[in-house]
Amino acid sequence: MTADLNMFAFLAGAVLYMIYGGIYYSILLGKKDQDGAGPVKYVVAVLVAFISSALVGVLVQGTESSGLASGALVGGIVGILVSIVYLKNALFGLMTKRMFLIAIGDHLIIFTLLGALHGWFL
């Protein structure tokens, strides 16, 4: 039963990531001209959603962080780490301040949500 529950958390996390990202970026960025990457960027985005859910799930299970708050803490730490990397990139001029804030907001929130979801199912 536990393996089924964990598989459900993995799938639910990936779907949560995709829905959240679609809403978050649609609201903040609106409609922009396509950069020519076509469907490849959407395929990659789906893969990133599944990989992110799986890795956060492994971290939550590995730290035995059962419960929403405990899982959210683990996910939040991942979000902070990703944000630190974006900070370094922003400091070296690789992205604008607006893009930096959009990116860290996205990652801080989604990884915290993923951690909470996985903690809830643990």
Residue recorded with tokens 């900070």: 87
In angstroms, the CA 54 to CA 13 distance is 8
Q: How confident is the model at residue 28 (pLDDT cuts 50, 70, 90)?
A: confident
Mean pLDDT of 20-24: 91
**Residue scoring higher pLDDT (120 or 42):** 120
Q: Tell me, what's the pLDDT at 32?
A: 62
- How do residues 99-108 score in pLDDT, each as one tens digit? 999 999 999 9
Mean pLDDT score of the chain, rounded to an integer?
91
Give every CB contact of residue 43 below 8 A, 6+ residues apart in sequence: none
CA 75 to each of CA 5, 27, 98: distance values in angstroms, whole numbers, following the listed order: 19, 23, 23
What pLDDT does 1 receive?
41
Q: Report CA-CA distances (Å) from 81 to 9, 74, 88.
A: 23, 11, 11
Q: Is the whole model's pTM more than 0.85, yes or no?
A: yes
Q: pLDDT confidence of 34, banded at 50, 70, 90?
A: low
Backbone angles phi, psi at 36, to 5 degrees: 90, 0
18, 61, 64, 108 from 37: Cα distances, Å: 18, 36, 40, 26
Rounded CA separation 117/66 (Å): 10
